[in-house]
With several copies, the nearest count.
Chain A
Amino acid sequence: MKVKLLFFAMIREKIGKDEVDMEIFPGETLEQLTQRVLAPAFPHARFFKSLLYAVNEEYAGPQTILRDGDEVAFIPPVAGG
């Protein structure tokens, strides 16, 4: 099962890419995926507290279970217009 991850703003800069394709485990949640993917680059727990997620262009909670083909975006604090 594969999902596409989208990175924006400070996450994009830290990761050095704006998107990657990634294998996920069956039943893996957004939160679990986030820990695998972002924790190495963002060691501070505080960062994750302010992080939101979107799955297929809709805001989604951390417990959302991912499905094959999902487009996952990590949404750091938005700044609006």
Chain B
Amino acid sequence: MLLIKITKENINREEVRRAVAHPDCGAIATFEGDIRNHNDGKEVLGLEYEVYEKMFQAEVKKIFHELAQRWEVKACALVQRVGRLDVGEAGIVIAVSSPHRHSGMAACAWAIEEFKKRAPVWKKEYYLTDAQWVLCNHGGK
């Protein structure tokens, strides 16, 4: 089971959970990235996400494929929000279900790191008087 989705709407957390829940699985590890009200000492009013959609799908599929080779997991789901977001809203939710809790937590933590390095997603932060594309170091591959 695999859910990889890009959405302009509020992320539906219950949909993410349902996508990975399974009677075989005792553990669901979830990571949610929310919009913070500050970054680098500046007050953030909101932001905008931009995604290279086709490559995003392909790259997240690869991440989940690698993940399944490293850990015993049952299902993975990732929903990325695009467009304009307010402070407090969720930009991303990742969930991993697994028979046992150790593998699920480890796999979920690994997935976020890979995602942040590799997924073609950009973020523009809006401040009181200006706006800026956030530059993180990236790895690519």
A residues contacting the other copy or chain, number (CB 8 A): 19
Of B15-23, B68-76, B102-110, B113-121, the stretch lying at the interface with chain A is B113-121
CB contact between B133 and one of A57, A75, A76 (< 8 Å): that residue: A76
How far, in whole Å, are A54 and B121 apart by their CA atoms in the complex?
Answer: 13
- Taking the complex as formed, is A69 at the interface, i.e. its CB lies under 8 A from any CB of chain B? no
CB contact between B52 and one of A73, A79, A81 (< 8 Å): that residue: A73
B residues contacting the other copy or chain, number (CB 8 A): 30
What residues of A have a CB within 8 angstroms of the CB of B115 in the complex?
A: 80-81
CB distance from B71 to the nearest CB of A (A): 20
- Taking the complex as formed, is A65 at the interface, i.e. its CB lies under 8 A from any CB of chain B? no
How far, in whole Å, are A1 and B114 apart by their CA atoms in the complex?
Answer: 35
What residues of B have a CB within 8 angstroms of the CB of A8 in the complex?
A: 50, 52, 120, 122
Interface string of A9-30 (1 = CB under 8 A from B): 1101000000000000000000
- Taking the complex as formed, is A52 at the interface, i.e. its CB lies under 8 A from any CB of chain B? yes
Interface string of B92-105 (1 = CB under 8 A from A): 10100000000000
- Taking the complex as formed, is A38 at the interface, i.e. its CB lies under 8 A from any CB of chain B? no
What residues of B have a CB within 8 angstroms of the CB of A42 in the complex?
A: none
Q: Does B91 contact A54, Cβ atoms closer than 8 Å?
A: no
Q: Which 7 A/B pairs are nearest by Cβ-Cβ distance?
A: A81-B92, A80-B116, A9-B122, A79-B123, A52-B140, A57-B55, A59-B141
- Residues in chain A within 8 A of chain B (CB atoms): 6, 8-10, 12, 50, 52, 54, 57-59, 73, 75-81
- Pairs across A and B, CB under 8 Å, 17 listed: A6-B52, A8-B50, A52-B138, A54-B52, A58-B55, A73-B120, A75-B138, A75-B140, A78-B118, A79-B133, A79-B134, A79-B136, A80-B123, A81-B80, A81-B91, A81-B92, A81-B112
